[in-house]
Structure 1
Amino acid sequence: MYRLLPILLTLALPGCFLAPGMDMNTDSNGLTEIELPARKDGRLVKEKVRVMPITADLIIEKEVARQQAVGQLLPVDNTKTSYRIGPQDRLQITVWEHPELNDPGGEKILPEMAGKVVDDNGDLYYPYVGNLHVGGKTIPEVREELTRELSRFFKKVKLDIRVLSFQAHRVAVVGEVKQPGVLAMNETPLTVAEAISRAGGATKDSDMNNVALARDGKLYKLDVQALYEKGLTTQNVLLKDGDVLNVGDQKDSKVYVMGEVGRQQAVQINKGRMSLAQALAEAYGVDFNTSRPGDIYVVRAGDMKPEIFQLNAESPDAMILAEQFPLQAHDTLFVGTAGVTQWSRVLNQILPGSFTAIMSQAALMGM
């Protein structure tokens, strides 16, 4: 009897004291016991996070918020789609019936030497007119203004203007494209899809669901895959001077599956899409012999905006919710351990042999 006393004392201890593994503990308000760093109103604070049950209402709410965020991504200003002349642009101005105003030598001049260059102030010098401010103006606007100025010296002025070399406006395309670098913008409005194409297209390691656009000190996330597959044109944003487009690497798009699953591992997200059910299947499913199906958690750091979700999968129809709940890159999926399993592991760690073997030995001794 005395030999089993350590066993009885062990069983009498609180489960949270010796049971190996992790548990998600919350207070009476459903908040995490520990404080986590979070960003609020532009500054970092410490706060507890509410554990949110995965329900149909939550999935609908998240999907509506996602669609609204996509629709309000970057409003297009149609008044700025026409090319506007800027510094270092090279313009060719042709005035009919007045060859003295045109470039001497005509077609024999090398393209890089032809025309007139707009200076850093956006000004262009032209005979008779002097300095003409053309920066920020469209070709038709400059044509009209130059015609008006030359009409003071000549009758029936007819002229044409075209840009020989586009130098004023540029965007950078970096990341997983075949030819990363800087692209000059021309009279054709440059969209995200066109910029990626001009950069040689995406590489085989690219994550088109994770394209970042840096503009005016802000970062916007674009889902270009949705443009290709669903025709979601809101993702095909018009670019402007100074934009930086970064195509993400799919190798960094993983979900980490831990706890009572067939195999704990990092699961690769395919083309930006992976549901909670898919991640569990990739990890060879939930081990129903050792797990608590009611305690399946998705932990999301969210760039200093932490979120924690809980799925109660004790009922098989909860897997419909799991299939409809989308995961994000760097999510951690954790399946809790059953209490009996925890105690079995405790006893196996403390006692010299399995718990079953010890009990069998006690039975032989007449206990």
Structure 2
Amino acid sequence: MKLSATKGARILVLAALVASVAACGLPRSGPNKREIFAGSVLKQGDAFVVTVNPRVTRATAVVPSFGFGSDFRNAGVVGSDTIAAGDVLALTVFENVRDDPLLGNTGQRVSVLEQVQVDGQGFIFVPYAGKIKASGQTPDGLRQAITRKLDTQTPDPQVTVQRVAGDGSTVSVTGAVAATGVYPIERPTRTLSTMLARAGGIAIEPSSAIVRVTRAGRTGKVWLQDLYDNPALDIALRAGDQIVVERDTRNFVALGATGAQSLIPFESQTLSAIEAIATVGGLNTTLADPTGVFVFRNEPAEIANAVLGRNDLRGDQRFVYVLDLTQPTGVFEARDFVIRDGDTVYVTEAPFVQWQKTLSAVTGTSAAAESLTSVGSGG
């Protein structure tokens, strides 16, 4: 009779434990499939839950498109010898007289003017010739201008002009390059790609590098890979251009039964769902439900209407895209579906995982309860 009572007490304790576990719930990585679908607009929720198919993939395949405006593209290559404000020139004047030269001392037919800097307004000063506009001219054009000015004062002057080192036609290169600095626009460095090479090349992965150019208050930018692939994007440089190489700042969040749960930066221009999963170590084989791969995203109205075949939606809409990797074309759909900046990739746990957790919790707790019952009964 005593044994039967003890056994009954243990059953009552076990039943109480099961009820307690069922009521309180168990730890898990997030909502399950049933709970996600319960949040659908069709069930009075606030998100559109959409199964991914080729039509959805096409409608949502939006990748950032960068480029340069016409003011950048239509600018011709600057001549390697074009003079600019800030340049330093070396002038040499040969006079066809011996006794009374205009610029030199008696008997001195050659006069050298070194370190003649072009001022901020683009002018230089030459004795007896006065102020002459130099910026925008080639050395030969400036030579002719100086010759015309001096010709009325000394017979048949011969002038040479050489552009030497200076602060005129330069650009700044900063960011993720091997050697940041200020570089002159010279014959080998008159375009964007050659100037990047002059700065030692890119110091980050080319697939995630963006090149930004600011000129006269306007900015354009391109993917580095596009710059290499499309010669039309290799714009001509202008004095004062600011070139910055920066890493792509887009990212997505991986949660749930994946190999890692964290904020993941993009490593290429485009990233598919299957690549995103692979980036975080794939699905956790002991926890993941391959039929429950979800992508959470806020879609602009234009894309939301295209996905749903509507035209009445206004403003951003909450979307949950569903991928089932067990379907015959599931992996193909995940391979083609494009992940975008700010997306959350969430993988649900397999249903049996919760059963395992429940059984483990009940088994462990019942053992503890049995021990307490045993102590309470005195052995």
Pairwise same-fold verdict (TM > 0.5): yes
* Distance in 2 between residues matched to 1:31 and 1:221, nearest whole Å: 43
* Distance in 2 between residues matched to 1:191 and 1:31, nearest whole Å: 57
Q: Which runs of 5+ in 2 are unaligned?
A: 1-10, 300-315, 370-379
Post-superposition shift, 1:125?
Answer: 0.9
Post-superposition shift, 1:89?
Answer: 0.6
| Counterpart residue number, 1:38 | none
**What code does the residue aligned with 2:169 have?**
H
Q: In structure 2, which of residues 313, 335, 345 is the aligned counterpart of residue 333 of structure 1?
A: 345
Secondary structure at the residue paired with 2:135? Answer: coil
> In the alignment, is residue 202 of structure 1 matched against residue 210 of structure 2?
no
**Any residues of structure 2 matched to 1:181-192 within 5 Å, and which?**
181-186=181-186, 190-192=190-192
Contact 1:213 1:243 in 2 (8 A): no
> In the alignment, is residue 278 of structure 1 matched against residue 275 of structure 2?
yes
**Any residues of structure 2 matched to 1:148-163 within 5 Å, and which?**
149-150=149-150, 161-163=161-163
**What code does the residue aligned with 2:276 have?**
A
**Any residues of structure 2 matched to 1:232-311 within 5 Å, and which?**
232-248=230-246, 257-264=254-261, 274-287=271-284, 290-298=287-295, 310-311=321-322
* Distance in 2 between residues matched to 1:274 and 1:326, nearest whole Å: 6
| Counterpart residue number, 1:319 | 331
| Counterpart residue number, 1:90 | 88
* Distance in 1 between residues matched to 2:75 and 2:59, nearest whole Å: 32
Q: Percent of aligned pairs with the same residue?
A: 20
Cα 1:106/1:220, change in 2 over 3 Å: farther
Secondary structure at the residue paired with 1:78? Answer: coil
* Distance in 2 between residues matched to 1:300 and 1:139, nearest whole Å: 59
Larger radius of gyration: 2
Cα 1:81/1:347, change in 2 over 3 Å: farther
Cα 1:256/1:190, change in 2 over 3 Å: farther
| Counterpart residue number, 1:123 | 123
**What code does the residue aligned with 1:313 have?**
D
Secondary structure at the residue paired with 2:333? Answer: helix
| Counterpart residue number, 2:28 | 20
* Distance in 2 between residues matched to 1:346 and 1:296, nearest whole Å: 23
Post-superposition shift, 1:124?
Answer: 0.9
Post-superposition shift, 1:168?
Answer: 1.5
Cα 1:92/1:9, change in 2 over 3 Å: same
Post-superposition shift, 1:224?
Answer: 1.6
Secondary structure at the residue paired with 2:345? Answer: strand
Contact 1:92 1:162 in 2 (8 A): yes
**What code does the residue aligned with 2:125 have?**
Y
* Distance in 1 between residues matched to 2:155 and 2:323, nearest whole Å: 84
Post-superposition shift, 1:126?
Answer: 2.0
Contact 1:209 1:226 in 2 (8 A): no
* Distance in 1 between residues matched to 2:144 and 2:45, nearest whole Å: 67
Post-superposition shift, 1:146?
Answer: 4.4
* Distance in 1 between residues matched to 2:318 and 2:144, nearest whole Å: 58
**What code does the residue aligned with 1:126 have?**
V
Greater RCO, CA 8 A, separation 6+: 2
Secondary structure at the residue paired with 1:353? Answer: helix
Contact 2:123 2:134 in 1 (8 A): yes
Give deviations 1:74-114, integer Å, cap 9, x for gaps.
Answer: 741334634653332112345666596889999997xxx82
Which of 73-82 and 167-176 deviates more?
73-82
For normalisation by structure 2, the TM-score amounts to 0.62
Post-superposition shift, 1:140?
Answer: 6.1
| Counterpart residue number, 1:365 | none
Post-superposition shift, 1:210?
Answer: 1.6
Cα 1:5/1:258, change in 2 over 3 Å: same
**What code does the residue aligned with 2:85 have?**
P
Cα 1:60/1:4, change in 2 over 3 Å: same
* Distance in 1 between residues matched to 2:71 and 2:279, nearest whole Å: 36
Post-superposition shift, 1:27?
Answer: 5.5
| Counterpart residue number, 2:78 | 81
Cα 1:218/1:336, change in 2 over 3 Å: farther
Cα 1:196/1:208, change in 2 over 3 Å: farther
Cα 1:97/1:157, change in 2 over 3 Å: closer
Contact 1:275 1:322 in 2 (8 A): yes
**Any residues of structure 2 matched to 1:130-141 within 5 Å, and which?**
130-137=130-137, 139=139
* Distance in 1 between residues matched to 2:219 and 2:42, nearest whole Å: 35
**What code does the residue aligned with 1:319 have?**
V
